[in-house]
Amino acid sequence: MKRRINQLINLLNEELKLFLSISFGVYLFVLFYQPFPIDTFDFNNKLIFVGGLGAIVFVFMVLVRVGYPWFLQINEQRKQEPAFPSYIGTFIIFILCSVAFPFYLHFVGGLNISFFVMIKIMIICLAPSVALRLNDMIQGLRIQNEALIIEKKIIQKQLEKYEEDYLNKSIEFISESRNENLNLLIADVAFIKSADNYVEIAYMEGSDLKKKLLRNTLKNIEQQIKPYSNFIRCHRICIVNLHFIEKLNTSYNNHWLTIKGFNEQIPVSRQYMLKLREAL
């Protein structure tokens, strides 16, 4: 029994602030705009009478949103399941308030309930339901956003691990002479430039920059490294490793890349500019 009482208190605490805010909003609206003729009351009695309308809204919200779900909580599994969809709960609150308000206004306030008064009652009673529904939608979007953030972090970790494994793979650059092959880690290759009948491969060995000429064409090398997406063509004579790009520079119609740890400039042609910008 004590556990059930604690569950009720916890459920009430979760939404108490929202219920009080909505009830107080109804109270202030009726008090200041006076949609019903309540001039027969003196000031103090008017405050109490209008407070009764706010109390009706508060009680029905507690009963529908807290009391009924708590009553259905037979075990811990049911605790996480809503008693009914949010829109049904807010509709029930609207109906209950729309029925209770006329009785209260007629029997406590002595007000004749006309069709026009009933329309105003329904509009006022609709406000709490709309506020609750909007709150539920915002909470739902917040939960979805948190779930997406968690999912994004998981995917980022997977991508980081994949990228780490990917860059630690080695690639063998094959010379046409077959006796000068060069085996390097993907992460160490900075760029590859065409040099007549040779290609110049710039790579890191420890903390030092090294270059090696292989007898081959840039077209053949490009086909060889095609499976590795971190290599991109930036000029007809050059392929660059995206992980080594420090900055894309532009001066008038000239474009070039600054490479980390290298003094030389890597040319960029207009033909490959768009693709390079998208990759960066």
Number of other CB atoms surrounding residue 266 within 10 Å: 24
Domains of the chain: which residue ranges? 2-161, 170-279
CATH superfamily, with its number, for domain 170-279: LytTr DNA-binding domain (2.40.50.1020)
Q: pLDDT value at position 3?
A: 66
Distance, CA of 248 to CA of 267 (rounded, Å): 10
Burial of 132 (0-12, 13-18, 19+ CB in 10 A): buried
Q: pLDDT value at position 8?
A: 64
Distance, CA of 234 to CA of 91 (rounded, Å): 62
Distance, CA of 253 to CA of 165 (rounded, Å): 39
Q: pLDDT value at position 103?
A: 93
Please list the rounded mean pLDDT of every run of 10 residues in the chain (280 residues): 67 83 93 82 84 94 84 55 73 94 90 91 94 91 91 77 66 77 85 88 84 88 84 90 86 83 82 82
Q: pLDDT value at position 2?
A: 65
Q: pLDDT value at position 77?
A: 46
Q: How far is CA 177 from CA 185, 197, 201, 202, 266, in A?
A: 22, 12, 16, 20, 27
Instruction: List Cβ<8 Å contacts ≥24 apart for 263-266.
Output: 266/191, 266/234, 266/235, 266/238, 266/240
Instruction: List Cβ<8 Å contacts ≥24 apart for 12-16.
Output: 12/62, 12/66, 15/61, 15/65, 15/66
Distance, CA of 219 to CA of 5 (rounded, Å): 76
Task: Check if the beta carbon of residue 224 is closer than 8 Å to that of residue 234.
Answer: no
Q: pLDDT value at position 79?
A: 47
